[in-house]
Amino acid sequence: MRLPSLPLRTAFSLALLLALPCAAAAGPREDYDAFRAGLTEQASGPTGMYAIQDVAVIAPGASAHLSAGADAAALRWSPGAGGANDVRVVFRDGRATLYAPDIKQPVDLLKAADQKKALPGGLSVRATPYENSVKAWLYNPALVKQRFKGLSFFPYDPKGVIDAKFARKNVPKAVSHLDSRNHTGTMYWIGDVELPLQGKTYTLRAFNKSNDWNKIDHLLLFFTDKTSKKTSYGGGRSLEAHFPAGQPPQTLSLNFNTLYSFLCAHSDYYNCPVNLTTYVPVELKFGEKYPPGR
């Protein structure tokens, strides 16, 4: 299975997008246990959801910088290249190049391990693709102790493992969406899932960030349901199903115990879709619940 990472593989750029591979699990219950552990680790890690201090969107040919001499907790991205003593990220020719006084050789963050680089003083910078730009993420691990109150999950329920039918679209259709930060993005409608729930069958659109079936190796479903705004995040939750690239099966086993909240449940810095969810008029008491303290 795969778990959401930071930002999610679809990151709603959807910021929905890098995946955290997990060790092969023996079954749905083991998937659920790995899902909880992996999501908690990603939330509470030094470059996790609760460590985000600031984010900048950098267009091609543009730059952002962190001013030299500022206290670590006060650092925020400013537009422009800044000065020679500033930490700078320049996005040009497909490279997100990091310059810093204490880093001898400039680093292309998009090719660095995990697309990130540690800075002196405990901070870290990561770059991820975002539409035609890049997002520069600034992480401060000291923030985790202040913010992170743990994650909550519904108990594992074998009824959450559901066989569904998938009908692929031979030509994925572009769907423009608005996100939670008032940006527009594009996802691709790659097919429909027929989902049997509590005696009824619901048809849901399945999405991917790519429109190339040679590369598509997973589908994404975006839900709201009768738990939304009550015991789960009101903005929506996501479910992933993975398969060999270009070979989606006609029957999918969906493990709703691995439903996870849109990342906006944890940080306002993410870009989450506001018009791609499907409302299902049942209680989906599976997966991640609304996070404590949010």
Query: Which residues are CB-contacts of 293 (< 8 A; sequence separation ≥ 6)?
Result: 147, 149
Encode 71-99 in three state secondary structure.
CHHHCCCEECCCCCCCEEEEEECCEEEEE
What pLDDT, on the 0 to 100 scale, is given for residue 23?
Answer: 39
Dump pLDDT digits (tens) for 253-271.
Answer: 999 999 999 999 999 899 8
- Does residue 151 lie in a domain region? no
Q: 278: number of CA atoms within 13 Å, CB side?
A: 19
Number of domains in the chain: 3
Does residue 149 lie in a domain region?
A: no
Banded pLDDT at 20 (limits 50, 70, 90): very low
User: What is the pLDDT averaged over residues 223-241?
Assistant: 95
Whether residues 176 and 133 fall in one domain: no
Say if 259 falls within a structural domain: yes
> What average pLDDT score do residues 131-152 get?
95
- Range with the lowest mean pLDDT among 125-129, 176-180, 251-255, 263-267? 176-180
**Can you tell me the mean pLDDT for 156-170?**
97
What pLDDT is stored for residue 18 in this prediction?
32
CA–CA dist 150, 204 (Å, integer): 31
- With 90 as the cut, is the pLDDT of residue 43 above it? yes
Segment 130-154 shows an average pLDDT of 95
Confidence category of residue 180, pLDDT binned at 50, 70, 90: confident
pLDDT band at 212 (very low <50, low <70, confident <90, very high): very high
**Residue 30 located in a structural domain:** yes
Q: Is residue 247 scored above 90 in pLDDT?
A: yes
Are residues 187 and 251 part of one domain?
yes
Domain-terminating residue out of 32, 49, 66: 49
Mapped onto helix, strand or coil, the DSSP state of residue 273 is: strand
Whether residue 177 is found in the same domain as residue 276: yes
**Which pLDDT score, from 0 to 100, does residue 293 have?**
65
CA-nearest of 218, 205, 212 to 278 is 205
Residue range 159-184: mean pLDDT, rounded: 91
Distance CA 135, CA 37 (A): 26
**pLDDT attached to residue 14:** 36
Look at residue 5 in the predicted model and tell me its pLDDT: 40
- For residues 171 and 126, membership in a common domain is answered with no
222/274 same-domain check: yes
Whether 249 and 174 map to the same domain: the answer is: yes
Whether residue 98 contacts residue 87, with contact meaning beta carbons closer than 8 Å, is answered with yes
Q: Are residues 216 and 248 in the same domain?
A: yes
Asked if residue 162 and residue 270 are part of one domain, the reply reads: yes
Question: Taking Cα atoms as reference points, which of 233, 236, 228 lies closest to residue 204?
Answer: 236
CA distance 88 to 64: 6
Give the residue from 218, 185, 192, 186 showing the smallest Cα distance to 206: 192
Whether residue 152 lies inside any domain: the answer is no
pLDDT at 229: 94
pLDDT band at 183 (very low <50, low <70, confident <90, very high): confident
What pLDDT score was predicted for residue 121? Answer: 83
Asked, for residue 210, whether it belongs to a domain, the answer is yes
The proportion of the chain whose per-residue pLDDT surpasses 70, expressed as a percent, equals 90
163, 272: one domain = yes
Amino acid in the structure at residue 234? G
Residue 152, pLDDT above cutoff 60: yes
Q: Which two tokens stand for residue 176?
A: 């423009």
Q: Is the domain of 108 the same as that of 181? A: no
- The predicted pLDDT at position 21 comes to 37
Does the residue 92 lie in any domain? yes
102 and 11 within one domain: no
Residue 94, domain extent:
52-140
Mean pLDDT for the chain overall: 89
Same domain for 32 and 58? no
Final residue of a domain: which of 49, 67, 84?
A: 49
pLDDT for position 29 = 96
Using left for φ > 0, alpha for ψ between -120 and 50, and beta otherwise, residue 231 falls in alpha
Quote the pLDDT of residue 294: 62
The pLDDT tens digits of the residues spanning 62-105 come to: 999 999 988 999 999 999 999 999 999 999 999 999 999 988 89
End of a domain among 140, 172, 192? 140
pTM for the whole thing?
A: 0.87
| 111 within some domain | yes
Q: What angle do CA 64, 12, 55 make, to 5 degrees?
A: 20
